[in-house]
Amino acid sequence: QVQLVESGGGVVQPGGSLRLSCAGSGFSFSSYAMHWVRQAPGKGLEWVSLISHDGNEQYYADSVRGRFSISRDNSRNMLHMQMNSLTTEDTALYYCARGMGDSKPRSRYFEDWGQGTLVTVSS
């Protein structure tokens, strides 16, 4: 079955950097668009970023554009998110999510989710 396992979260000071990773298994990783979605403690869901199946297209939320960078390694079935210039507003549980394929609009729905990795930005 589909498995998505996030890692890389932790506590970081404001202005710091962190790199999140997501390992995918149980499906043809290179055939699917992938997303990061976050949820601040006690709050709702916020889409962060999408990368196409081949890595050629990336999209970002306005709140992270220019600071976060999404990438993928299809040879290793891995998704990454490099997060720079972190602020307290970035504190959240970060989910890796699989799109429903790679063609729109299905790629823009979140069909499977990991359990998340917690990022805490605090001095």
SS3 74: coil
Task: Identify the residue among 18, 51, 68, 114 touching other proteins (CB under 8 A).
Answer: 114
Q: Which neighbouring-strand residues pair with 73?
A: 78
The yes or no reply on residue 60 touching other proteins (CB under 8 A) is yes
Reference 58, options 47, 42, 44; nearest CA is 47
> Of 11-19, 21-29, 46-54, 73-81, which segment contacts other proteins by CB under 8 A?
46-54
CB nearer to other proteins: pick between 15 and 104: 104
108 touches other proteins by CB under 8 A: yes
Structure tokens at 18: 């962190």
Task: Confirm or reject binding of residue 113 to other proteins (CB under 8 A).
Answer: yes
Check binding of 59 to other proteins (CB under 8 A). Answer: yes
Footprint on residues 25-44 left by other proteins (CB under 8 A): 44
Contact in structure between 22 and 34 (CB atoms under 8 Å): yes
CA distances 62 to 49, 65, 67, Å, are 10, 5, 10
